[in-house]
Amino acid sequence: MRIVLPVLAAALFWAAPLAAQQAATPEQVAAAALEAAPVWDGHNDVPWQLRHRYDNMIAGFDFHDTQAQGEGTPLETAMHTDLPRLRAGRVGAQFWSVFVPVTLVPEAEAVQATLEQIDVTRRLIAAYPDDLQLALNADDVEQAMAAGKIASLIGMEGGHSIGSSLAVLRQLYALGARYLTLTHSANTPWADSATAAPEHGGLTGFGKQVVREMQRIGMLVDLSHVSEATMMDALDVAAENGGAPVIFSHSGARAVNGHARNVPDAVLTRLKDNGGIVMVVALPAYVSEASRQHAAARAAERARLEALWAGQPDQVTAGLAQWDAANPEVLATVSDMADHVDHIRRVAGIDHIGLGADYDGMPTGPVGMEDVSGYPALFVELARRGYSQADLEKIASRNMMRVLRAAEAYAAAHAGDPPIEGE
């Protein structure tokens, strides 16, 4: 004991300051994770802003500063995204959404508009070669990140974009589209949306063929915006032949916020077998349940006032102002967003979480993450909650890289399969 105790005491004496030196702060853990694995965001609506604000005329558009570009345009507000703020947010890869409205009918108009949005997105990427690089596969993403550029991928939001045509789907893939959200806010002729009255009970027979063909060619199946029945049908199709993982490009956990746009636990549980990923959204109405309840109560009050004061809009305006004064808006926070990450980890696991904020497709992000520069704040919050650097790297981009590589591997294994033909 005379020998062991002094040796043990000496070991403890030297180990204590070493442990203190090695203990990293949440800020340091987050910074190290984002240095090793920059953010790969699943959904950003800059292409829609270019169409809505500038009619896709981008010769005078300055992507180095979009904070003052609201003046004199249809949206008199700053955009959420520009190159300096993407750098500040540690974004290394971005799915740019080529969204077009579901109101474009017949569907051929939506197809044309989608082609125009792919065109303006590719022109934007080409205009900033020092910062952006078109990425068509996982190797492209890896190479762009290594070169210090933001890998730029294209995602289509809404099945109306393909005009109910597998041929159009294949050609849009050839032009660079790497995911398709099966619906947007309305049903397609072959799939039910989360926010419309059910029409098909999920996917029709043709809808299932769409999923099969997407997986055959390597296009990611995006289940954000679709009904729970459509989610389940798509997962069933993906399971038929050991299919590729699916994604939710910008959704939250329905157990945390009950909005239909979020993912129920029954689907989260199935993601473990599928290998898919939920890219957590930042849109406040989908993030904060208190914010969602406040919005519903305000809508109900407006409806009550309009019924009470029919034909008297001044009375409605005055009454709503009084209600607003008595019921201040509830703001979503970074902590609220982290709650969704926590829940998805508990149900599906750490390997099934990513980020898809929906910037420039909403009025603002949560407090502390109002624009694309705010991602580090979320990673600091998660580090405070005990997430390791390895965990954070998975959430930032490693999970999404795994998913895309799996989709590519499935397509390569089925390269000899003939294209699906069908109306």
Q: What is the pLDDT at residue 190?
A: 98
Average pLDDT over residues 238-246: 93
Q: What is the pLDDT at residue 22?
A: 66
Q: What is the pLDDT at residue 422?
A: 72
Residue 144 has pLDDT above 90, yes or no: yes
Q: What is the pLDDT at residue 8?
A: 46
Burial (CB count <10 Å: 0-12, 13-18, 19+), residue 364: middle
**Active-site residue (options: 45, 228, 339, 391):** 45
Average pLDDT over residues 258-265: 98
Contact 306, 316 (CB under 8 A): yes
Q: Is residue 301 among the annotated active site residues?
A: no
Q: Is residue 184 among the annotated active site residues?
A: yes
**Active-site residue (options: 225, 294, 340, 352):** 225
308-321: b or e for each residue (b if 16 or more CB lie within 10 Å)? Answer: eeeeeeeebeebbe
Q: Is residue 130 among the annotated active site residues?
A: no
Q: Is residue 250 among the annotated active site residues?
A: yes
| Strand blocks (E) in 321-397 | 353-355
Burial (CB count <10 Å: 0-12, 13-18, 19+), residue 87: middle
The CATH architecture one would assign to domain 26-284+332-413 is: Alpha-Beta Barrel (3.20)
**Active-site residue (options: 157, 192, 233, 360):** 157
| Percent of all residues in the chain with a pLDDT value above 70, rounded to a whole number | 93
15-19, 257-261, 282-286: least confident range: 15-19
Q: What is the pLDDT at residue 77?
A: 81
Written as six digits, the tokens of 92 are 């290394």
Written as six digits, the tokens of 417 are 């399969």
Q: Is residue 64 among the annotated active site residues?
A: no
* Cβ partners under 8 Å of residue 387, min gap 6: 29, 395
**Active-site residue (options: 250, 340, 343, 352):** 250
Q: Is residue 294 among the annotated active site residues?
A: no
**Active-site residue (options: 192, 222, 233, 358):** 358
Residue 146 binned pLDDT confidence (cut-offs 50, 70, 90): very high
Q: What is the pLDDT at residue 68?
A: 77
Q: Is residue 157 among the annotated active site residues?
A: yes
Which one-letter DSSP state was computed for residue 98? Answer: -
| Percent of all residues in the chain with a pLDDT value above 90, rounded to a whole number | 90
Average pLDDT over residues 3-27: 56
Q: What is the pLDDT at residue 241?
A: 80
Q: What is the pLDDT of residues 95-119, one digit of tens each?
A: 999 999 999 999 999 999 999 999 9
pTM score > 0.85 for this model?
A: yes
Q: What is the pLDDT at residue 401?
A: 98
Q: What is the pLDDT at residue 70?
A: 56
Q: What is the pLDDT at residue 21?
A: 46
Average pLDDT over residues 263-285: 98
**Active-site residue (options: 160, 184, 200, 343):** 184
Q: What is the pLDDT at residue 159?
A: 97
| CA distances for 354 relative to 13, 41, 125, 232, angstroms | 42, 8, 23, 20
**Active-site residue (options: 43, 160, 343, 352):** 43
Q: What is the pLDDT at residue 99?
A: 97
Residue 419 binned pLDDT confidence (cut-offs 50, 70, 90): very high
Q: What is the pLDDT at residue 4?
A: 45
Average pLDDT over residues 58-79: 79
Q: What is the pLDDT at residue 18?
A: 44
Residue 73 has pLDDT above 70, yes or no: no
Please provide residue 133's backbone torsions phi and psi, each rounded to the nearest 5 degrees: -140, 125
* Averaged pLDDT score across all residues of the chain: 93
Helices 107-127 + 166-174 axis angle, to 10:
10
Residue 20 has pLDDT above 90, yes or no: no
Residue 72 has pLDDT above 80, yes or no: no
Give the largest Cα separation in the chain, rounded: 95
